């Protein structure tokens, strides 16, 4: 069986979908039998430090077209001899004669205010058409499954929920010296910090988080810094927001580029608290990684965040309200017994999410879709 994978998201900074592909490929190498082959279709050559298992080959199609144009023009011709094409980044080629499996990681438009107005006229219909044309649609959570079924009008028998995983590198550590080094590297001083990890997307309530953080500092006088670890691709005016809130010396944002994703394990361990006040998430790799690292977490009781944490985090019912968010952050930071309880529960809860399971179940879906297409 020949399985093709649209792997263009491996280029550039590897965030959600890029990491998803990376971990699938890593574990697929031990799962393929001698008759199966996986071909990764790339727009650019792989990175020098990328090492792929023997049964996984790469095919570079060239950079003449980019993005969705590359997906629509180059990919279908190159992948015409596969038995099934896996499209892990929401969309598939508009015309492709073989079975496809599409991964829809989030249906953000289910929640108002998560995107600019033009999203419903562009990406939303594209993703809907892709999902409806696919043999199977993989989603990462039960809440996303329900949203995709309703919004995109997909029959439930074509939807498969396959949660994402967490790497073994993410675990509590007693190496405080290395955690101190992480603080110095990213915060620039040996001060405790509160951590957010991910793109600073509209749905993630970053301005509210800055305001809530400032409120907690005003109430408690705590020395903490707020570290926003991820690209500010929307150009949120963080400096102005921090100045208006009176915390201009305590908000730090970095693009979040690391040589190896496992390098983030120490970052979570060095943080006093992980916070995600997002109004919508289809899944959250940072949350699972924080839980696995034993980092006490505060998250919105929304969509997949509540499903993932399942009692192992402190929840905010109204994440759009900075005072409600501040209350929960303050509760966790000032209660050592609560912090210890959340740390213990987080590590236990994270054991339910393993990349090996994600890879095996995803491969099963691809093989089943290919078999159906061969009939």
Same domain, 155 and 180: no
Measured distance CA(130)–CA(134) in Å, rounded: 6
- Beta partners for 56? 38
Give the model confidence (pLDDT) of 188-227 as tens digits: 877 899 999 999 988 899 999 999 999 999 999 999 999 9
In a domain, 367, yes or no: yes
Q: Calculate mean pLDDT across residues 2-9.
A: 96
Same domain, 344 and 360: no
Q: Which residues contact 235 (CB under 8 A, 6 or more apart)?
A: none
Number of domains in the chain: 2
Same domain, 346 and 315: yes
CA atoms within a 13 Å half-sphere pointing along the CA-CB vector of 345 = 15
| Per-residue confidence band for 373, with pLDDT thresholds at 50, 70 and 90 | low
pLDDT confidence of residue 6: 97
Q: Which of 238, 170, 243, 171 is nearest to 204 (CA)?
A: 238
Tell how strand 225-229 and strand 251-254 pair up. Answer: parallel
Average pLDDT over the chain, rounded to an integer? 93
Query: Exposed, middle or buried: residue 156 (CB in 10 Å: 0-12, 13-18, 19+)?
Result: exposed
Could you count the other beta carbons within 10 Å of the beta carbon of residue 265? 23
Same domain, 139 and 156: yes
In a domain, 207, yes or no: yes
Same domain, 345 and 360: no
Phi–psi pair at 48, nearest 5 degrees: -60, -30
Neighbour-count burial for 72-96, b at 16+ CB within 10 Å, e otherwise? bebbbeebeebbbbbbbbbbbbeeb
Q: Calculate mean pLDDT across residues 310-314.
A: 96
Same domain, 368 and 287: no
pLDDT at 130 over 90: yes
- Beta-sheet strand order (sheet of 193-197): 251-254, 225-229, 193-197, 273-276, 297-300, 314-316
| Per-residue confidence band for 374, with pLDDT thresholds at 50, 70 and 90 | low
In a domain, 304, yes or no: yes
Measured distance CA(287)–CA(302) in Å, rounded: 13
Report yes or no: 67 and 89 within 8 Å, Cβ to Cβ: no
In a domain, 171, yes or no: no
Same domain, 182 and 272: yes
Measured distance CA(273)–CA(290) in Å, rounded: 9
pLDDT confidence of residue 270: 95
Compute CA 96 distance to the chain's CA centroid, rounded to the nearest angstrom: 28
Report yes or no: 250 and 226 within 8 Å, Cβ to Cβ: yes
CATH code of the domain in which 79 resides:
3.40.50.2000
pTM of the model: 0.92
Q: Which domain holds residue 359?
A: 2-165+355-374
Report yes or no: 40 and 10 within 8 Å, Cβ to Cβ: yes
Give the model confidence (pLDDT) of 243-260 as tens digits: 999 999 999 999 988 877
């Amino acid at each position: 069986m020949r399985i093709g994978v649209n792997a263009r998201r491996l280029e550039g900074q590897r965030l959600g979908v890029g990491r998803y592909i990376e971990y699938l490929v890593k574990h697929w190498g031990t799962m393929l039998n001698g008759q199966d082959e996986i071909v990764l279709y790339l727009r650019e050559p792989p990175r020098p430090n990328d090492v792929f298992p023997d049964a996984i080959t790469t095919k570079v199609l060239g950079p003449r077209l980019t993005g969705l144009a590359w997906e629509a023009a180059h990919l279908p011709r190159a992948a015409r001899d596969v038995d099934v094409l896996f499209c892990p980044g929401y969309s598939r080629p508009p015309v492709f004669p073989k079975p496809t499996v599409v991964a829809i990681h989030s249906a953000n438009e289910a929640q108002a205010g998560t995107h600019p107005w033009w999203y419903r006229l562009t990406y939303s219909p594209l993703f809907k058409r892709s999902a409806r044309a696919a043999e199977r649609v993989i989603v990462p959570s039960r809440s996303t499954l329900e949203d995709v079924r309703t919004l995109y009008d997909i029959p439930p028998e074509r939807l498969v929920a396959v949660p994402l995983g967490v790497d073994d590198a993410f675990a509590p550590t007693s190496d405080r010296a290395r955690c101190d080094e992480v603080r110095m590297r990213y915060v620039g001083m040996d001060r405790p910090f509160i951590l957010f990890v991910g793109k600073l997307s509209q749905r993630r309530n970053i301005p509210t988080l800055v305001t809530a953080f400032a409120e907690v500092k005003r109430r408690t006088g705590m020395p903490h810094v707020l570290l926003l670890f991820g690209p500010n691709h929307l150009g949120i005016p963080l400096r102005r927001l921090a100045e208006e809130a009176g915390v201009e010396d305590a908000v730090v944002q970095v693009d979040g580029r690391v040589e190896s994703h496992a390098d983030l394990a120490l970052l979570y361990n060095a943080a006093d608290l992980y916070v995600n006040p997002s109004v919508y998430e289809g899944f959250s790799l940072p949350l699972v990684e924080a839980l696995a690292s034993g980092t006490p977490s505060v998250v919105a009781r929304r969509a997949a965040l509540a499903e993932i944490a399942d009692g192992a985090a402190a929840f905010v019912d109204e994440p759009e309200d900075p005072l409600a968010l501040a209350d929960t952050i303050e509760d966790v930071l000032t209660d050592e017994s609560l912090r210890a309880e959340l740390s213990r529960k987080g590590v236990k809860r994270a054991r339910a999410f393993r990349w090996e399971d994600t890879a095996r179940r995803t491969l099963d879906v691809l093989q089943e879709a290919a078999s159906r297409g061969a009939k």
